[in-house]
Amino acid sequence: MAYPYRHDSEVRLLSEHFGNPRARTLEGWVELGGYRALRKALGMDRAEVVNVVKASGLRGRGGAGFPTGMKWSFMPKKEPGKPHFLVCNADESEPGTFKDRELMRWTPHALIEGCLIGAYAINAEHAYIYVRGEFFEAAQIMARAIEEAYAAGYIGKNILGSGIDLDITLHIGAGAYICGEETGLLNSLEGRRGEPRVKPPYPAIAGAFRYPTAVNNVESLIAAAQIVENGAEWYRQWGTEKSTGTKLFCVSGHVKRPGNYEVPLGFNFREFIYDVCGGTPGGKAIKAVIPGGSSVPILTADELDIGMDYESMAAAGTMLGCGSVIVMDEGTNVVKQVRRMVDFYAHESCGQCTPCREGTAWSAKILKRIELGRGTPDDLDTLLDISDKMTGKTICVLSDAAAAPIVSSIEKFRGDYLALMEAGDLALAGAR
């Protein structure tokens, strides 16, 4: 099956082989040029691998945008009897995100290669790929690919005759958003409850099984492999000074052509939505856009003339996040959408920290009441105050993520809230 949509403005580095079933097999992958990066990396000094990724400016694609090479350089010196681990975060669960799933579905060996290079760079002898439990097909494809790669000597003892042993274990999660938070993921990997850990210590000091660990996103690892093969300067030809390279954007909602698109960072957001994705079906006006996954502040239609890079998004008061674009047209009930998001966070909160456990659930109840037309204007003050008390007060940022859409929607769409309050019981009639 051909991959759904393509566009000429795309720069397809990561997604080049999407839709090509040949890329899934080891044989096909090698034919397409696979595992060259691994051979090259194994011939390099470990520090050199880290340095080239550092020089490329690649930033973590999981959402936080922390430079990947920098993260690797934080790993301590190897001590005897103290293993290092590489953990690939494939627990892609941010609502609106589906890029890692496609990377694994179409190019499983690219991820294996990325994991092997990353593991080599940080001197780990074992890499874990933690796949979201619901990604049944992706996990099956990954498992098959890992088996093939073991059999062909790309993974295991003395890989490619280099004298280096590297193992990869596929670990399938049990369906929890919070296990995408790196320390929650590590706890889950260890068989504990998926609850984020208090930091410090950071994973580089005490990660998986309390040993030094680097946790990297699927897209970051695959990009790192390409950088090792082609060089830092090659990668820097795309993107901006501080947001280098290309990135996969997952588009959903009211656009004509939803799907994954790979564009250079810094690409104009309006052009992206209207040209690359074809604008809204029926040409309706856009009401709101979530640019980076459900946990980032919402943009209005007037705010779309910005670059799709970390800095420009931050300057616009939102975040690039993991590049999950959700477009909502003029017919959207914003309050309902925000309520659904907050419901999601309330459902997915691990429940450790009081502000998150209680704040998400309480906010969701208030929003539901407003949605049903039983809200009063003071509810908005309460919501903003709750959001403030949920932001920056907890172990991880799930609580902040839940608060962000509440705050930005009240700031930008207060009229929608007030209209539901005025409609009273008639709010239900207009709800959709």
- Total residues at the site for other proteins (CB under 8 A)? 33
Instruction: Output 40 or 357, the one with its CB closest to other proteins.
Output: 357
- Answer yes or no whether residue 427 interacts with other proteins by CB under 8 A: no
- Answer yes or no whether residue 68 interacts with other proteins by CB under 8 A: no
Binding-site member from 5, 369, 372, 418 for other proteins (CB under 8 A)? 369
Residue with tokens 């907050």: 342
Cα three-residue angle 273-9-61, rounded to 5 degrees? 70
Instruction: Output 88 or 380, the one with its CB closest to other proteins.
Output: 380
Residues in CB range of 1: below 8 A, 6 or more apart: 19
Instruction: Output 38 or 346, the one with its CB closest to other proteins.
Output: 346
Binding-site member from 1, 2, 198, 285 for other proteins (CB under 8 A)? 198
Strand order in the sheet with 324-329: 259-264, 246-253, 324-329, 286-290, 299-300
Residue 315 CB neighbour total at 10 angstroms? 11
**Cis amide leading into 200 (omega within 30):** yes
* 215 closest CA partner among 231, 197, 227, 230: 197
- Answer yes or no whether residue 156 interacts with other proteins by CB under 8 A: no
CB of 426 to other proteins, least distance (A): 21
Residue 225 phi, psi dihedral angles, 5° rounding: -65, -40
Binding-site member from 327, 366, 380, 401 for other proteins (CB under 8 A)? 366
User: In this chain, which stretch among 29-37, 83-91, 365-373, 410-418 interacts with other proteins, using CB under 8 A?
Assistant: 365-373
User: Sign of torsion, CA 315 317 323 327?
Assistant: negative
- Answer yes or no whether residue 359 interacts with other proteins by CB under 8 A: yes
Write the CA distances from 361 to 123, 345, 354, 389, 402, integer angstroms: 43, 8, 11, 14, 10
User: In this chain, which stretch among 46-54, 144-152, 297-305, 384-392 interacts with other proteins, using CB under 8 A?
Assistant: 384-392
Beta bridge partners of 215: 87
User: In this chain, which stretch among 98-106, 139-147, 240-248, 354-362 interacts with other proteins, using CB under 8 A?
Assistant: 354-362
- Answer yes or no whether residue 386 interacts with other proteins by CB under 8 A: yes
- Rounded distance between C-alpha atoms, residue 398 and residue 356, angstroms: 7
CB of 272 to other proteins, least distance (A): 33
CB of 392 to other proteins, least distance (A): 5
Binding site for other proteins (CB under 8 A): 176, 178, 193-194, 198, 346-355, 357-362, 365-366, 369, 382, 386, 388-390, 392-395
